[in-house]
Amino acid sequence: MPGQDSANGHLSTREFSTLLVEERADRVVVLLNRPDVRNAIDQQMVDELHAVCAELEKNPKVLIIAGTEGVFASGADIAQLRERRRDDALQGINSTIFVRIAKLPMPVIAALDGYCLGGGAELAYAADFRIGTPAVRIGNPETGLGILAAAGASWRLKELVGEPVAKEILLAGRVLKAEEALAVNLVTELYEAAELMDAAHRLADRIARQDPLAVRITKSVFHAPAEAHPLIDQLAQGILFESQAKFDRMQAFLDKKNDKKKTDGTKS
């Protein structure tokens, strides 16, 4: 894969049964891996995603999430969901992990292929970036099963695509094809399946070229409530104005600019 060489870390020593995990110096790649049930999200997968988040909260890196065998995630595991009752719902089993993923310090990239439905779609909505393939089918069929999309779609989807499209998905069971998802910016780019992970790594490479602290703080400020601005922006900028990276990167920019002036002057 493109990107930096693999780097051994805490995640590389763990054993996962529902995920394939690769840890690199500046990113972690997680593949949802329950192909026999189209990567349906069960309790074990939720627990393993919590373990990944715990490590990324301590050691922030970009997270790339994708599926295996041409499917992102077909939804929550219906066999488990069928048996859950009120107290299970009140625990917010899926919503808790998706909120945790959304709040990770560094950006999250969801690379989508094939079915991305129900809980799988809500996992994708929690990411900062969504890219996909022409085979993507994304939506929330929960009302057809007698429940609601309670793990983020009921409020996050409106922010992503606007109220009219969100209501079509949530209330009328509309499943978006890839081009439709692209048209409403639910995904931002489409690639052939063989190119999808390369594209995800190129995006991670672009993020890696930024200052990590500036990226982390910008993500936090971006998701702050409206009433927190502009005070939180000023406080965050105050932190970054004191960082060594700010001085080094700005000096490098000025040096490059001066070198270009000298070169242009020589040519003239």
Residues known to be catalytic? 122, 142
| Alpha helices in 77-151, H assignment, sequence order | 78-83, 86-91, 93-102, 119-125
- Inter-CA distances, 53 with 7, 8, 168, 188, 197, Å: 18, 17, 32, 25, 21
Where on the phi/psi map is residue 148: left (φ > 0), alpha (ψ -120 to 50), or beta? beta
Neighbours of 87 (CB within 10 A): 7
Between CA 5 and CA 2 the distance in angstroms is 8
18 within 8 A of 43, measured Cβ to Cβ: no
21 within 8 A of 14, measured Cβ to Cβ: yes
Between CA 74 and CA 121 the distance in angstroms is 8
What is the token pair recorded at 113? 């292929």
Burial class (CB in 10 A: 0-12, 13-18, 19+), 192: exposed
What is the token pair recorded at 252? 């490098």
137 within 8 A of 116, measured Cβ to Cβ: yes
What is the token pair recorded at 122? 């809500």
